[in-house]
Structure 1
Amino acid sequence: MVRAELIFIPAPGIGHLVSAVEVAKLLVRRDERISISILLLKLPFHAGVAAFTENLKKDAPDCIDFVDIPAVDESIMTDLMSLPHNSFLESFVSSQRAQVTDVVATILKRSEATKLGGFVLDMFCTPMIEAANEFNVPAYVFFTSGASFLGFIFYAQFLKDSKGQDISEFKDSGVELSVPAFSIPVPDKVFPSVMLSEGGSSRMSIVARRLREVKAILINSVLELETHAFKSLADDEDIPLIYPVGPIINLERGEPTPRNRESDEAIMSWLDSQPCSSVVFLCFGSMGSFSEDQVMEIACALELSGKRFLWSLRCPLKDNKKMELPKDYEDYVEVLPEGFLERTSGIGKVIGWAPQVKILSHPAVGGFVSHCGWNSTLESLWCGVPIAAWPVYSEQQTNAFQLVKELGLAIEIKLDYHKDIVTNEASVLVTAEEIERGIRCLMEEEGEVRKKVKMMKAICRKATAEGGSSYNSLGHFIEDVLDNIKQGE
């Protein structure tokens, strides 16, 4: 029996790790001929991510091995830390290529019966394509965002290379671009935050060029969710083969830091006491936090709306050059309006880090005020919970635009909100009136968005079931890997 070893290299961030580990589990459980080594690149200042990774390992099958890549020399890391933020990660990954090559060589010595089937790389780990080339095996990419954003990256790279136009030049121009991956024009105000600077857009163009080099791209999305985007990608002969394999969701998602089990039980117990679909859940991802002024506006909006709420409130880190995770407040009183907790004690609950999937799965939750990170978006659709879109950074503005304007699967709070992930400076202050209006629209009992989201819930679950579009696509990828090994024998 031909056995294939796949080398997974996810980016060292929570959102990227979660879905990479989950797709690895799907592959090995689907076909006993597949085994996987997940190589963990560790940033010395990401202790929270390291603890989170330990939780992800707990229910992984035996044929998935987690391998720590030795840390880079301290002097090299010091040099890397002096680089601009938008070029740090690529340089960090590149610096570990020699260690990765050594580790893979060691893995291959374990069994002569197992052949190396290829490298499955995160979009930010494409410098490792060279490592795959050294072993003369294919490089694949597991793309943790959606097909529309992938199409946006490719289009931006096309503009730069073919027309000499940098996507960042359109910032604040009022232009609307006809991006092939979108069925409607995309205004500059919702271009991805990560591409609004010349440095950021140049880095993403480099990523796009490298993505064109790989054999295939697995996308954490659903064909029926992003039909137009997938068709546009398939129509471009210069783009590799695309496999839609989502939604990839960890229904028992681990937490980034050790947690008090009692606090999670208290959250779920509180939800148990709430009426069905009555609670609006506010959570802005692993990096989500706001200034005190913005926290005040959110608190006022919740009081004005009169809706039941569960609010994950995190404390921002100032000058976050090391990209550390926000912390929980020691005392919410220091940031919330005077008397807020007492006035809302009957209908609301403020928490720190949230067990997000468990909360979204609870029948009491009727709406989700979200940053529209792609993992969170898929989790919300999987659970049938409509979103009020409030993007913050990265590609979230484009995700939010797609959900609200193109697909009709979300309510708008503020699509053009941008926050610098390092300095925590925001582009605008979103007012209590804007937030309250979004919450009220979100919690309409029989609104059109709610109906569409319920339909998409059924579609997502059908896609991953046997015979569904994502199920079949994953099977085609497995056969591709095994066929490559047979041809190389």
Structure 2
Amino acid sequence: MNKSQLVFVPCPGMGHLIPTIEFAKLLINHDHRFSVTVLIINSPFDATYNAYVHSLVSSPSPSFPTRLHLTLLPSTLPTNISQHHKGTFLDAFFENHKPHFREAVSNLESGPDSPPLAGFVVDMFCSPVFDVADEFGVPAFAFFPSGAAYLGFLSQFYTLMERRGVDTTAFNFKDSGMEFAFPSFLNAIPAKVFPLLVLEKGWESFSRNHARLHKKARGIIVNTFEELESHAVLSFSSNGGIPVYPVGPILSIEGPSNPAQQGFDVIKWLDDQPPSSVLFLCFGSLGYFDQVESGFLDRTAEVGIVIGWAPQAQILAHGAIGGFVSHCGWNTILESIYFGVPVATWPLTSEQQINAFHLVRELKIGVEISLDYRTGFSNGSKTEVLGAERIEKGMRDVMAAKENEIRRKVKDLSEKSRRALAEDGSSYINLGRFIDDIMNMK
């Protein structure tokens, strides 16, 4: 049996690292010829992430596959950090790590029992690593932890805007009322839900770099499944372009642990609640409240709880959960679908606005609190405040009658998401197609 090894490079963020590792597990369990080394870099912005990474590398779970290896690389920060916009900083940050990537891969290849290097799987944000793959003479595939519809948006965005003569960084563009058609979406997309990556001037170079992924990569692995985004997946296959492999939903059912929250057993609290009676509010690893007014805690003590970190997957899997108010990160959307829980949309940043649009208008499996609420990348500020009436309506709608159309669709997609991962399911087949392609490129 011919053995091969792959190098994975995730972007330093929870929403990127965890699905990358879960995809590596999926791949080596699918095909025993492969071993995978994940090259991890510390985040320049998130100390909590760094602490998690260090614990993961130093004390991996006993269930961690033996053919999956984690390597923490030295951290090299760009000079004159204060003079960089965050977008240009990240460009320089990944470029500065090229020597560390080269050295780590050279060490892998020089090992006495090292299997031949078959290729790289590189996060969409880490475009300089594609140059390193070229130096080693192996193919590099992009790993895209968001959905296929958003991938289509990114790959077409700058071409479409330039063709239309649109300046997307104009002060009031996102409030212009303009709408644009993209092949990966059934409906025209309003500018108000465009992600900040393509709206803020300082991010233009960075976002253009990973919009060009389809020109650098030999294929793109997408964390989605065909039955969820059939139109978007078909939009790639119909134009004869770069191969796209929908292999999801790639989920970490256990999720990262947080010992600081082990003093309160939220699952035990849920066990005491009636079926489908609890509305879960969670805004991801970067969403938080500056403070919670103590009067609110007193008023709601008998009907709810407020906690810090939450084991999201285990909560969504619980029968007491009837609805989910979410920031609409893609990993969270996939978890809510997998466990059959309808979502009320309250996006914050990144591509979450377009995800919310996708969920409500395209897939029709969510209800709207807001589609265009956003906090800035730089300081998290937001002048608009969502009114209580909008929030209440969204909450009531998502908790509406147990057998409404949205809930029926989510339950149906939940079953399809599980079948997609099973043997001979669509994602299982696409993973095999990816393996065949990368082995034939050697």
Q: Hey, what does 1:172 align to over in structure 2?
A: 175
The Cα of 1:70 is off from its aligned counterpart by 1.2
Aligned equivalent of 2:69: 65
Residues 193 and 397 in structure 1, CA contact (< 8 A), matched pair in contact too: no
Q: CA deviation at 1:231?
A: 1.1
Matches within 5 A, 1:299-378: 314-315=289-290, 335-336=292-293, 339-378=295-334
1:295 is aligned to: none
Instruction: Give the corresponding residue for 1:433.
Output: 389
Matching residue of 1:194 = 197
Alpha-carbon displacement from aligned partner over 1:31-84 (angstroms, at most 9, x marks no partner)? 110000000111355331123233484232111111111121xxx544245310
Give the Cα separation in 2 of the matches to 1:78 and 1:213.
Answer: 28
Q: Unaligned 5+ residue runs, structure 1?
A: 290-313, 316-333
From the superposition, tell whether residues 81 and 139 of structure 1 become closer, same or farther in structure 2 (CA, over 3 Å): farther
Whether the aligned pair in 1 keeps the contact of 2:261 and 2:309 (CA below 8 Å) is no
The whole-number CA distance in structure 2 between the counterparts of 1:208 and 1:388 is: 29
Q: CA deviation at 1:363?
A: 0.6
* TM-fit CA distance, 1:202: 4.0
Tell me whether 198-207 or 438-447 shows the greater mean CA deviation. 198-207
Task: Tell whether 2:151 aligns with 1:150.
Answer: yes
Q: Once structures 1 and 2 are overlaid, which stretch shifts more, 156-165 or 412-421? A: 156-165
1:393 aligns with 2:349: yes
Residue 196 of structure 1 aligns with an amino acid whose one-letter code is L
**Matched residue SS, 1:270:** helix
User: 1:414: which partner in 2?
Assistant: 370
Structure 2 vs 1, CA of residues 344 and 112 (structure 1 numbering), >3 Å: closer, same or farther?
closer
Name 1:105's counterpart in structure 2: 106
Q: How is 1:23-422 mapped onto 2 (pairs within 5 angstroms)?
A: 23-43=23-43, 46-53=46-53, 54-55=55-56, 57-58=60-61, 59-72=63-76, 76-111=77-112, 114-160=115-161, 165-169=166-170, 170-237=173-240, 239-255=241-257, 257-263=258-264, 266-289=265-288, 314-315=289-290, 335-336=292-293, 339-422=295-378
SS in 2 for 1:21: helix
Report if the CA contact (8 A) 1:144-1:374 is conserved: yes
Q: For the Cα contact (< 8 Å) 2:87–2:205, is it kept in 1?
A: no
TM-score when normalising by structure 2 = 0.94
Judged with a 3 Å threshold, the aligned counterparts in structure 2 of structure 1 residues 29 and 15 are, in CA distance, closer, same or farther, namely same
User: CA offsets, 1:225-276, max 9 Å, x none?
Assistant: 1111111122234x41100000000000013x5434232xx21111010000
Of stretches 346-355 and 373-382 in structure 1, the one that deviates more from structure 2 is 346-355
The whole-number CA distance in structure 2 between the counterparts of 1:81 and 1:484 is 43
The alignment-based identity, stated in percent, is 42
Once the 2 structures are TM-superposed, how far is the Cα of residue 130 of structure 1 from its aligned partner? 0.5
C-alpha change, 1:181 and 1:168, in structure 2 (3 Å) is farther
Counterpart for residue 462 of structure 1: 419
Amino acid of the residue matched to residue 432 of structure 1?
Answer: A
1:474 aligns with 2:427: no
Q: Which piece of structure 1 moves more, 84-93 or 453-462?
A: 84-93
Q: 2:78 touches 2:89 (CA, 8 Å); kept in 1? A: no
SS at match of 1:249: coil
Amino acid in structure 2 at the alignment position of 1:249:
L
Deviation at 1:215, TM superposition (A): 0.3
Deviation of 1:154 (Å): 1.2
In 1, the alpha carbon distance for the partners of 2:253 and 2:438 equals 27
How many angstroms apart in 2 are the aligned matches of 1:127 and 1:66?
Answer: 20
> Contact 1:369–1:389 at 8 Å: present in 2 too?
yes
1-side partners of 2:103 and 2:250: how far apart?
30
Contact 1:167 / 1:201 at 8 angstroms: preserved in 2?
no
Please list the CA deviations of residues 143-163 of structure 1 after superposition, one character each: whole Å capped at 9, or x if unmatched: 000001111111112225655
- 1:9 equivalent to 2:12? Answer no
- For 1:471, the aligned partner's letter is Y
Q: For 2:427 and 2:80, how far apart are their aligned partners in 1?
A: 42
The letter of the residue matching 1:184 is: N
3-state SS, counterpart of residue 65 of structure 2 = coil
SS state at 1:287 partner: coil
Q: Do the aligned partners of 1:2 and 1:482 also contact (CA within 8 Å) in 2?
A: no
Conserved in 1, the CA contact under 8 Å of 2:78 and 2:92? no
Q: Which one has more relative contact order, counting CA pairs under 8 Å at least 6 apart?
A: 1
2:201 counterpart letter in structure 1: E
Instruction: Structure 2: state its 5+ residue gaps.
Output: none
TM-score by length of 1: 0.85
**Is this contact kept in 1: 2:261–2:308, CA < 8 A?**
no
Q: Secondary structure at the match of 1:105?
A: helix
Matched, 1:442 2:441: no
- Pick closer, same or farther for the CA change 1:113–1:394 going to 2, 3 Å: closer
Q: Which amino acid aligns with 1:478?
A: I
Distance 1:151 1:395 in 2: 13
Distance 2:204 2:312 in 1: 31
